[in-house]
Amino acid sequence: MTDYDPPTDPLTILHDDHEVLLVDKPSGLLSVPGKGPGLADCLLTRVQASFPTALLVHRLDRDTSGVMIFALTPHAQRHLGLQFEKRQTKKTYVARVWGEMAEKTGTVDLPLIVDWPNRPTQMIDHQNGKQAITDWRVVRARDGETRVRLMPRTGRSHQLRVHMQALGHPILGDPFYADGPARDHPRLMLHSETLQFRHPDGGKGMRITAKAPF
């Protein structure tokens, strides 16, 4: 990873209480510290500067923006961790992708594995890959691109990015999976729009949203 120059915007807090904190992660900021010098600045350390008890639950790619949840107690971290593990959380992403998609809805079911020589990129591998499933729904298609909602059923690394590339519609601005004009955008056009989960204190269903900045 080169030229790490994360944005310096103040934290955008979407919700906080005695157990959980939800923030809107900016694109270009690591979720957790990277390996190597100059990669210490990340959302986790910024959150912990204001919320010292904050604990990691899940991650978003550096270039993806949107809703990210942190636990504020060990109990909440366990509770939320299990929800993610058992796929009880629901996530919706918004993306702008290359080309106008012909169908209105669909599902991608293609197993993924890390492409070791080119990591962190992932690749489709029907023999050794782990199951990865993404539901998608077109919002609008015009001017040579499509705005689409993505509902991952699994949480593999780079899942949405590889799945959209596999459909022939890479996410605009993707430094790993797009090329040519599709890659030539100021940022990765992928945003975690909503997260649904059960609150660790009492199990009440919650749905937190952050509007896409593109």
Give the contacts of 5 (CB within 8 A, at least 6 positions apart). 28
Written as one string, the DSSP assignment of 143-207 is TTEEEEEEEESS--TTHHHHHHHHTT-PBTT-TTT--GGGT-SSS--EEEEEEEEE-TTT--EEE
Cβ contact 196:35 at 8 Å = no
Q: The tokens 């959302």 sit on which residue? A: 43
Q: Which two tokens stand for residue 114?
A: 């890390």
For every residue of 123-148, which 3-state class applies, written as one string?
A: EECCCCCECCEEEEEEEEEECCEEEE
User: Which positions are catalytic?
Assistant: 61
CA angle, 130 as apex, 99 and 2 as ends, to 5°? 60
Distance CA 151, CA 97 (A): 15
